Chain A
Amino acid sequence: MWSLGVEYSDTIPGAAGARFSLRFTRRLVLASGAAALAGLAVAQPWPVQSAGTHDTRFMTLSRLLIPHSLDPEIGRRIAIDLKADMAPVSDHIDALLKLAQDRHAAVVEDFFPFASDEAKACALRIISAWYLGVVDDAPGAKVIAYELALMFKPTSDVMTIPTYSISRPNGWGAAAPPLIAMPNF
């Protein structure tokens, strides 16, 4: 087992939701690799409905819904929480993948407008999870991603991710980049 045994525990008294653990295991590394491979399949013929694991189908759909680089480990964790939180999620994922396949979609704009309301809701939930770093944005919700949450990316050329730094001592200034200069991410 390739466990690094890295595990942190926040001991702030009563800090509900503040506990987290980070443990790399062989299983996770393998799963991540599989998810990354699945990502390569985007330009390939569409996966047969219900083929592949929940994780791989989730990552394939995620890459169709979001035109950005996606971290497979974050995807794996979103997929788990979404499945637990939303009963027919697998059906919606299948439906969305089939729709994308039928419409020969390369990007989200190619198929999302044609999805059913229920499938759209599922797609928006997946997108929201990637952007906000939580499946259900409510007080006490488990945070899956912070600095890698996509919500920070469209402004990453200017705005600091709070607690992180993109500058140096007194290194920032008043330059205001234009809206059209969207960062690549």
Chain B
Amino acid sequence: MAQLESADVVVVGTGVVGCLIAEQLLDAGHSVLMLEAGPRVERWQIVEGYRNRPPITTTNLDAAYPPTRWAPFLDSTSTTTAADYLQLEGPNARAYRQDYVRYAGGSTWHWAGICWRLTPEDMRLKSLYGVGRDWAFDYATLEPYYTRAEHALGVCGPSEPELQWPPIRSKPYPMGRLPFGPGEQKFTDAAARLGLKNLPSAQARNSGVAYDGRPPCCGNNSCIPVCPIGAKYDAASSLPRIEAKGGKILVNAVVYRVETGPADQVQAVHYFDPDRQSHRVTGKLFVIACNGIETPKLLLMSADARNPRGVANSSDQVGRNMMDQPKLVAAVTLAEPAWTGVGPVQGSSIMQTSQGDFRGEHAGALFRFNNMARSRLGAMQALKKGLVGKALDAEIRKLSACTAELTLEHELLPDPNNRLTLSDKKDALGIPKPNIYYDVGEYVRKSAEVYSTPLVKQLAHEMGATDVAVTTEFTNSDHIMGGLIMGANPADSVVDVDCRAHDHPNLFLPGGGAMTTAGCGNSTLTMAALALKAADAMVAQLTHA
């Protein structure tokens, strides 16, 4: 075993959370070492990889990110490959088929860039509605970190309070909103006729101007799987800046053990290189930020005599309360063109439907128009009809323009039975694969039955739909939350209000795993806010030391 590296702060994971923390600590004058399980690639490689995938993979949005042998993740190429890494079970196993990327930069490469905040009510489910949990602090505590996160990521959004979500802000967005394309405008107009407001999304995409060294968005409509010009925040632009500030990034370093010592301190992390040679890295503070699945997995794998249930797991809550926003999709055929593929792939949502007293009985839901260009899907469908000549072109145009997808994403309650454990199946390095039991529960199922599905049908008909088919099987939204749940009580939670492990004073576990409740919106901005709050605590802790 070789010991090669040491730093004040060792950060495992190079996604949005790891990068934000690394930069904060570097700015405060501390040395930082980042460890990334996967490889480092350049933007053009992802773009070319995407363009060189056949049309049938259009909806397989992670196809441009083939997993490496040593850092596997879910491969959606087929149902067979999809079943290889994540071991899923339970009534809604399919709904936890989470897409994430184990590359330098993590899933920031292929996130949509959407930056919703939680509302004050989202953080007080138990007090207000008698379900789920309350956060250990309120919205007012988180708000300054939301604002910092919006400026760190470069988030654009509307300046009008009536279009903001929630309209409780201490500062404006750093940039104004992006325009709607025709499809999102049609959806907005239909919603308005039903008394609903489709809001321009807050999104980490440069709107009309350059920001933070990134160019303005030009509507390339490939935010997922990659922004070809870097207008969207992705950690690919953070990593060189971290290195310029003196941070060190080791790639292809698969951390497999968190080593603890006396006084519950974490002393080191151990990683395998692709040849399974082991290396030990020491530091003063440790951050495990390799997403809501890989982080609990690593903690459970690190069980030792002092921590028989796993590191940071005296509460037995590590890997429990796994959350996401269970998704349904309405496939809509319209009499008149809606048009997709104009502007970013996502740009708006109806959010007010996530709130209400009904939350005591069933989940709320977010509704949005999927703006990914449907030209390839239209062409594939038209060709299957055996058409030729002008009839083929007309059918492609019609199917591309007059079909659409409306997405419904539901709020899931934290449930300790939704649990990640270690599978007895191993990956190529001999590391256990994650096993996850998942049941969306009656709270979500009832919402789909009495609330969200009826409402999306109304929306579709208001748009002029001639046919609406709503899926009944829940699928993943890729917003991995809950497995390191935050709370004030060490007996029923994993981390404290600064994402510090209750059990280990120098171990921080920030990100989606720490989120106490999920809300209906995309989780990244809350993850980023928690990262900045944790970074402040780490700087204070190092200064005090």
A positions within 8 Å CB-CB of B: 8, 10-20, 65-67, 107-109, 112, 120, 123-124, 127-128, 131-134, 137-141, 143, 146-147, 149-155, 158-179, 182
Contact = CB atoms under 8 A, between A and B. Distances in A.
Given A16-B66, A132-B383, A172-B179, A159 B375 contact: yes
Contacts of B396: 131, 151, 154-155
B55 A8 contact: no
Contact of B52 (A13, A65, A146, A155): A146
Contacts of A171: 218-219
Nearest to B206: A169
B222 interface: yes
A154 to B, nearest CB: 4
A169 B60 CA distance: 28
A13 to B, nearest CB: 5
Interface stretch (B314-322, B337-345, B358-366, B453-461): B337-345
B378 interface: yes
Contacts of B53: 17-18, 143
Given A12-B45, A139-B77, A151-B375, A163 B222 contact: yes
Contacts of A155: 341, 373, 375, 378, 396-397, 400-401
Given A17-B53, A154-B393, A158-B401, A137 B373 contact: no
> Do most interface residues of chain B lie in helix, strand or loop, or is the interface mixed?
loop
Interface stretch (B139-147, B180-188, B288-296, B468-476): B180-188
B181 A163 contact: no
B392 A127 contact: yes
A167 B186 contact: no
A173 B397 contact: no
B390 A169 contact: no
A18 to B, nearest CB: 4
Contacts of A143: 51-54
Contacts of B400: 154-155, 159
A14 B68 contact: yes
Interface string B49-74: 11111111100100110111100000
B221 interface: yes
B56 A137 contact: yes
Given A112-B388, A179-B397, A165 B220 contact: yes
Contacts of A107: 389
Interface string B382-399: 010010111011101110
Given A12-B49, A169-B217, A158 B56 contact: no
A69 to B, nearest CB: 13
Contacts of B341: 155, 158-160, 162
B41 interface: yes
Contacts of B378: 151, 154-155
Given A67-B390, A169-B218, A138 B398 contact: no
Given A155-B378, A169-B209, A176-B338, A10 B218 contact: no
B416 interface: no
B222 A151 contact: no
B390 A18 contact: no
Nearest to A156: B375
